[in-house]
Chains A and B, each alone.
Chain A
């Protein structure tokens, strides 16, 4: 099994010595979808910011394909694709131009852009909106733009932050199909979400964060064993272990 993403005792936060995430160690392997589960404020987004290279770990190390961010920032950035929790769009670019900018930034050829974007536009039913500006998009459409930009690239690692909010059922299905297809081609996926029933169905392993620490991790089977809740669903386990007091 090849390790794609590895966190080794990572601690970090927004002030020196005050850790929002504390001593995190986990990994994502090739061909694996890992669910990052936690309550609001558990540290999921901070973890993701560290992985993206936007925040520097105060302790510990993060590797993507055995490389640290500072060793080769562009190579590091090149090896993942990111779908943010809230869509971040350029208000002055059309949908088509979003795809173009992304393709240019990651050195795709025009032919690749053409072929991949045609499929994605069809799949996410956005062909008609190709020349629209984001000002006219609904929340779900904005999220679709993010998803299409991410799948335009074929990186080894996908980092997906709470992707389902605002999407219609067909789009959710398309997104999941894409993630599974990428996974089967050997990509690794780290997905943070609150939709636990979906996570349970699609993720191979789970990392449960609470107050910035990993409280339990493993496959469904391992989680049931560790919490001594045979046959329990992910929601039940999650609620049980995050009970205060």
Chain B
């Protein structure tokens, strides 16, 4: 149907317009610079890692697992909206072209991901497989073909009524995929691969056609998938900038979230209490904070080049600082903040205090691990000194946030 395809195009365009805007924001943030550095340093350690890996490392199983996982997870981006439940579902029969477009689109995007991962894993593959192995190009072609199959099959699985049966099918599919990818990576004779594809073809034409015939399209599930996929993009973007549309996921974290209860019970502590609670529970601020902390500690223990530890520590405090500043916007849409009989200055002060506390805590931990891992005392002192200054800088920057001065 001509109109349906028009709608599809419009929606894809709208999505990418939004996505590109966020991507350019990410590109302009200092965060990307940090990632460049990470790639630069990472590639050096990658080659070191390869030298260090023992001969008995199960490289083929590892590669097979990673690719099987990528293949098994094959959602078709449906590009549907809540309203379609009412307006588009009645013309479901005429929407073949619409979903076919979604299929090609998803195939394209997910193939790029496969390509990217394979480029990343190529050195590992080359390292272990000198002769008698399939060429990378051949492997990629096989993976693409398999992706096409997985997308088709997962779409039909979406018709199933229960989450459990969908999961069971997915596990089954993972088995089929890993057998194929394992055969591929151990360089099995091509007939094995052909047999694998014949089995896949039979499954598709016999079993999954049967599923298609007996189950209707589950529109609510499609909307759920769409929202999940958009949200996962928002969540990534949210690490760099504030995404207002992000439906925030709240985690209880009972134990840690009781820490702010220790604050004094008065007006001055109120915003500190609020920002601490939100930091711990909302938007995964806490999760990212901890992940960066652990990555930092691991790198500090491993990195050996001069001042490497200092550099890593400061880089991570910087990344953490950028992320924490977005906490300011977390409550800005709440009318209450403007109604409480508390000065705007006090609110900024409380926010800065939270930022300063969290970054200083990180700095102190990094200093501790640097002192343990380094032979040079100066490394530890540098981390402490500069890290502290950095934390102070972010805390001050925090107070300049929100130029809107409500009287």
Residues of A within 8 A of B (CB): 52-54, 69-70, 73-75, 77-78, 82, 84, 88, 90-93, 97, 100-101, 103-107, 109-110, 133, 135
Contacts A92-B282, A97-B277, A133-B252 given; does A107 touch B266 at CB 8 Å: yes
User: A133 to B270, alpha carbons, bound, how many Å?
Assistant: 19
Q: Kindly state the separation between the CA atoms of A198 and B282 in the bound complex, as whole angstroms.
A: 40
Beyond contacts A101-B273, A104-B265: 5 other A-B pairs, Cβ-Cβ < 8 A, are A70-B407, A77-B341, A92-B278, A97-B277, A105-B267
Q: Are the CB atoms of B266 and A104 closer together than 8 Å? A: yes
| A91 touching B336, Cβ below 8 Å | no
Residues of chain A lying within 8 A (CB to CB) of residue B7: none
| B255 close to A (CB within 8 Å) | no
Give the interface size class of chain B. Answer: 20 to 34
Cβ-defined contact, A91 with B250, below 8 A: yes
Instruction: Kindly identify which residue among A74, A77, A92, A105 contacts B270, using a CB–CB cutoff of 8 Å.
Output: A105
**A104 adjacent to B277 (CB under 8 Å):** no
A60 to chain B, nearest CB (A): 18
- Chain A residues, Cβ within 8 Å of B250: 91-92, 133, 135
Can you give 17 contacting A-B residue pairs, CB < 8 Å? A53-B339, A70-B407, A73-B341, A73-B407, A74-B342, A88-B336, A90-B278, A91-B248, A91-B250, A91-B282, A92-B248, A93-B277, A101-B270, A105-B341, A105-B342, A106-B341, A110-B265
The residue in chain B whose Cβ has the minimal distance to the Cβ of A133 is B250
Give the residues in chain A near B86, CB-CB below 8 Å.
Answer: none
What is the minimal beta-carbon distance from A159 to any residue of chain B, in angstroms? 10
Given contacts A92-B248, A93-B277, A101-B274, contact A52 B267 (CB under 8 A): no
Q: CB distance B335 to A88 under 8 Å? A: yes
Look across to chain A and name the residue whose beta carbon is closest to the beta carbon of B248. Answer: A91
Of A74, A101, A106, A110, which contacts B343 at CB under 8 A?
Answer: A74
- Scan residues 336-351 of chain B and give those whose CB is less than 8 A from a CB of chain A: 336, 338-343
Is the Cβ of B339 less than 8 Å from the Cβ of A52? yes
C-alpha spacing A50/B174, complex, angstroms: 61
Closest to B251 in A: A92
CA–CA, A103 to B338, complex, Å? 16
